[in-house]
Chains A and B, each alone.
Chain A
Amino acid sequence: MLKTDNTSRNLCIAFVLLLLVGLILPNWLAFLTTIALAKAMVVVGLVMLMRAGLVSFGQGLYYCLGGYTVGIAGQHLGITDAVGILFVSAFIAGCLAALLGLLLCRYREIFFAMLTLAFSMILYGVLVKTSELGSTDGFNVAKVTLLGWQPSPGQLSLVVYSLACLVAFLTAFFMHRYYQSGMGFAGEAVRENEIRVEYLGVSPQRVVFIKYVLAAMLAAVGGSITAMIAGHVDPEMAYWTTSGEFVFVALLGGTGHVVAAFIGAFLFEVIRTIAFDLAPYTWQMILGTTLLLVIFFLPKGLWSLLKAKKVGGNNV
Chain B
Amino acid sequence: MDTLLVILIDGIVYSSWLFIVAAGLTLVYGVMKILNMAHGSLYAIGAYSAASMVGWYFTNGYVPWASYLVFLAAAILAGAFAGLLIERGLLRVMYGRDEVVMILVTYGVLLILEDVIKLLWGVEAYFAYQPYSLVGRTKLLGITFANYDFVLIAAAVVIGAMLWAGLNRTIQGKLLRAVIHDRDISMAMGINVKRTFFVTFVLGSALGALAGGLTAPALSVVPGIGIEVGILAFAVVVIGGLGSVGGAAVGALMVGIARAIAVHTYPQVELFVIYGVMAMVLVVRPQGLFVSTVARKI
Question: Which residues of A are in contact with B by a Cβ distance under 8 Å?
Answer: 55, 57, 103, 106-107, 109-111, 113-115, 117-119, 121-122, 124-126, 128-130, 195, 240-241, 244, 247-248, 251, 281-285, 287-289, 291-292, 295-296, 299
Contacts and interface: CB of A to CB of B under 8 A. Distances in A.
29 contacts: A55-B104, A57-B103, A103-B283, A110-B99, A110-B100, A111-B287, A118-B279, A121-B271, A122-B272, A122-B275, A124-B271, A129-B270, A129-B271, A244-B37, A247-B104, A251-B104, A281-B119, A284-B115, A288-B107, A288-B110, A288-B112, A288-B115, A289-B112, A291-B107, A291-B108, A292-B90, A295-B94, A295-B101, A295-B108
A287 B276 CA distance: 31
5 tightest Cβ-Cβ pairs between the two chains A and B: A125-B271, A288-B111, A288-B112, A285-B115, A291-B108
B286 A129 contact: no
Contact of B35 (A110, A240, A248, A283): A110
Interface string B89-128: 0100110000111011101111110111011000000000
Contacts of B103: 55, 57, 110, 113
Contacts of A122: 271-272, 275-276, 279
A119 B275 contact: yes
Nearest to B282: A115
Interface residues of B, number: 45
B295 to A, nearest CB: 11
A99 B227 CA distance: 29
Interface stretch (B42-50, B143-151, B189-197, B230-238): B230-238
B111 A118 contact: no
A299 B96 CA distance: 14
Contact of A240 (B93, B116, B231): B231
A240 B101 CA distance: 17
A248 B231 CA distance: 18
Contacts of A130: 268
B90 A114 contact: no
A113 B100 contact: yes
Interface string B228-248: 000100110010001000000
Contact of A241 (B93, B227, B242): B227
B25 interface: no
A247 B108 CA distance: 11
Q: Which of A130, A248, A295, A299 neighbours the largest number of chain B CB atoms within 10 Å of its CB?
A: A295
Given A106-B286, A115-B279, A125-B270, A292 B115 contact: no
Majority secondary structure of chain B interface residues (helix, strand, loop or mixed): helix
A109 B119 contact: no
B104 A118 contact: no
A57 B235 CA distance: 13
B286 A111 contact: yes
Given A110-B35, A125-B274, A195 B116 contact: no
B107 A248 contact: yes
Tell which of A57, A109, A195 has the most Cβ of chain B within 10 Å. Answer: A57
A291 to B, nearest CB: 4
B296 interface: yes
Interface string B267-296: 111111011101100110011000000001
B231 A281 contact: no
Given A121-B231, A295-B101, A281 B271 contact: no
Given A106-B286, A109-B100, A295-B105, A129 B111 contact: no
A115 B280 CA distance: 10
Contacts of A289: 108, 112
A125 B35 CA distance: 23
Interface core residue of B107, B111, B282 (most chain A CB under 10 Å):
B111
A118 B99 contact: no
B109 A288 contact: yes
A289 B113 CA distance: 11
Contacts of B227: 241
B298 interface: yes
B108 A114 contact: no
Given A125-B270, A248-B107, A295-B101, 11 more contacts: A114-B238, A114-B278, A114-B282, A121-B271, A122-B276, A129-B271, A241-B227, A283-B115, A289-B112, A291-B104, A295-B104
Contacts of B94: 295-296
Contacts of B238: 111, 114, 118
A121 B93 CA distance: 32
A247 B275 contact: no
Given A284-B112, A288-B111, A121 B275 contact: yes
Contact of B115 (A111, A240, A248, A282): A282
From B35, B100, B103, B296, name the one whose CB has the most chain A CB atoms within 10 angstroms: B100
A114 B118 contact: no
A109 B99 contact: yes
Interface in B238-271: 238, 242, 267-271
Contacts of B270: 125, 129
Nearest to A120: B275
Given A118-B235, A281-B119, A296-B94, A125 B110 contact: no
Given A284-B111, A295-B108, A118 B118 contact: no
Nearest to B237: A114
A296 B283 CA distance: 35
Contacts of A248: 104, 107
B266 to A, nearest CB: 10
B296 A118 contact: no
Contact of A285 (B101, B107, B111): B111
